[in-house]
Structure 1
Amino acid sequence: MEQTGARDGASLAGVPRVRVPEQAGSGVRGPRRTVRRSSVRGQVLAALRAALVGGELAPGEVYSAPVLGERFGVSATPVREAMQQLATEGAVEVVPNRGFRVTERSTRELAELAEVRALIEVPVMLRLARTVPAARWAELRPLAEATVTAAAVGDLARYAESDRSFHGAVLALSGNQQLVQVADDLHRRSQWPLSSGPVAGRRADLIADAAEHMALLDALAAQDFCVVSSLVQEHFTGSGSA
């Protein structure tokens, strides 16, 4: 079991509670229903991802499943299962008898992730620019606009999800599901930490990244291959989240 040497609940004020349906026979008023364990685990996983991206779970810190479970209002089991999933994604690592340590991304590691993503996505997007009609790119504009909205208010967690949704939708036009899955895994790994520094600076980075999404759609629709290539390269290697 995780010991209490990990972070306490007072330091996790920014971590959202998970809304769990009442269990059958729990004594809670309202309709009786059985909680689906997978559903609770999924909610906890989503909340943990948001906390990671938003900085509520700090790189290098160790957190115990029981403490996080108490904060979420659930047992330690779905938290532990969600943390195991995050461990497979490289977001945390298991610390025996203590809990889970949030991975610290070095500048070099983030640069390497950006390089690999560019190696995968640049040629795919150039190929798509030659084959996908302009009308299809217009259909993706709401996804790009969602990143603009999240960036404008500095919502790191919402930006991370909308950013991944946009890139995933673009790559999905290739028809290669394996490509989409590999790229999404790399994308997730590159989002922790999403960005650092003062809040104002982070918001500025997100706004710049979101603007690149809009410009990329315009370049793809116009089949401007040079602009597509430079935008994607800059998107991954710039100061923002990509």
Structure 2
Amino acid sequence: MEQGRPHGTAPGPGVALPAQATPSARGEHTHDESQHLRRTPQRYSVRGQVLDALRRALVSGELVPGEVYSGPALGERFGVSATPVREAMQQLALEGAVEVVPNRGFRVTSRTPRDLTELAEVRALLEVPALLRLARTVPAARWGELRPLAERAAVAAAGGDRAAYAELDRAFHRAVFELSGNRQLMLVVDDLHRRAQWAAPPAGCLLADAAEHLTLLDALAAQDLPAVEAVATRHCAGPA
């Protein structure tokens, strides 16, 4: 059972926190867990709903790196018990998005430049050779089928919706690597991609990242291997 209520968590049901951090009477800061944390569509398990909402809040920056959030306080915001929140947070800990703080809750992980560089290197080692193989074997028409998904991601990026872009970005990459027929590759690439997304880049940086999806599709369809390698290597580094 978590003790106390660390800053960065809601003080109780029905209390609306400001959208931005504001000093409290004690000089501490409070953070709004966002409208996302109040919406839980009734489509699947409570744990799944909570996990999706937390992921959106992490990617959008609504859960602040370095801050500690308690299961009971977040549960109040969801209108659920602390149990599904803790279960979702344990999954996020496995993914490297948060870390457990004994007797307090979970701290949102801060990504260092070195972390992001290492993730980019590992992604490039896996993704670039796989994309070069796909460029040689997949018909151009199949790449054309992925353009609508890439265009939807571009719309989300243009609107500055980081959470929506993150979901569409990962959906695009899953669709690309699904063509490899290698399920293990898909799982590993998806996990690395999600870990890289926790950095929550500024919305303006997403435009160039989204445009690279279309550039990559053009290079793949043309079987332009040097262009595929160059674009894929740059894209693995993520938004600058």
Structure 2 SS opposite 1:101: strand
Deviation at 1:168, TM superposition (A): 1.0
Query: For residues 13 and 162 of structure 1, what CA distance do their matches in structure 2 show?
Result: 22
Structure 2 SS opposite 1:12: coil
Q: Deviations over 1:15-60 (max 9, x none)?
A: 4213366xxxxxxxxxxxxxx9x61100000000000001110111
Change (3 A) 1:222 1:170: same
Query: For residues 218 and 203 of structure 2, what CA distance do their matches in structure 1 show?
Result: 23
Q: Which amino acid aligns with 1:124?
A: A
Query: For residues 15 and 191 of structure 1, what CA distance do their matches in structure 2 show?
Result: 20
Percentage of identical aligned residues: 66
Change (3 A) 1:175 1:20: closer
Aligned residue in 2 for 1:5: 6
Structure 2 SS opposite 1:120: helix
Query: For residues 189 and 20 of structure 1, what CA distance do their matches in structure 2 show?
Result: 25
1:96 is matched with which residue: 87, 102, 106? 102
5 Å-filtered alignment, 1:119-198, equals 119-195=125-201
Q: Which amino acid aligns with 2:138?
A: V
Aligned residue in 2 for 1:228: 228
The answer (yes or no) to whether the contact 1:124–1:174 under 8 Å persists in 2 is: yes
Q: Which runs of 5+ in 1 are unaligned?
A: 22-35, 196-201
Aligned residue in 1 for 2:39: 18
Structure 2 SS opposite 1:228: helix
- Runs of 4+ off more than 4 Å: none
Deviation at 1:238, TM superposition (A): 5.3
Query: For residues 235 and 20 of structure 1, what CA distance do their matches in structure 2 show?
Result: 33
Query: For residues 63 and 115 of structure 1, what CA distance do their matches in structure 2 show?
Result: 31
Query: For residues 55 and 239 of structure 1, what CA distance do their matches in structure 2 show?
Result: 15
Structure 1 SS opposite 2:207: helix
The answer (yes or no) to whether the contact 1:134–1:221 under 8 Å persists in 2 is: yes
Query: For residues 147 and 184 of structure 1, what CA distance do their matches in structure 2 show?
Result: 17
Structure 2 SS opposite 1:179: helix
Deviation at 1:147, TM superposition (A): 1.0
Query: For residues 128 and 116 of structure 1, what CA distance do their matches in structure 2 show?
Result: 19
Q: Which amino acid aligns with 1:214?
A: L
Q: Which amino acid aligns with 1:181?
A: L
Q: How many residues align?
A: 219
Structure 1 SS opposite 2:6: coil
Query: For residues 68 and 227 of structure 1, what CA distance do their matches in structure 2 show?
Result: 46
The answer (yes or no) to whether the contact 2:96–2:109 under 8 Å persists in 1 is: yes
The answer (yes or no) to whether the contact 2:40–2:50 under 8 Å persists in 1 is: no
Query: For residues 213 and 158 of structure 2, what CA distance do their matches in structure 1 show?
Result: 14
The answer (yes or no) to whether the contact 1:20–1:74 under 8 Å persists in 2 is: no
Please give the TM-score of this superposition, normalised by the length of structure 1.
Answer: 0.87
Q: Which amino acid aligns with 1:82?
A: A
Query: For residues 173 and 111 of structure 2, what CA distance do their matches in structure 1 show?
Result: 22
Deviation at 1:6, TM superposition (A): 4.0
Query: For residues 85 and 188 of structure 2, what CA distance do their matches in structure 1 show?
Result: 25
Q: Deviations over 1:148-190 (max 9, x none)?
A: 0110100001111111111111111000000000011101111
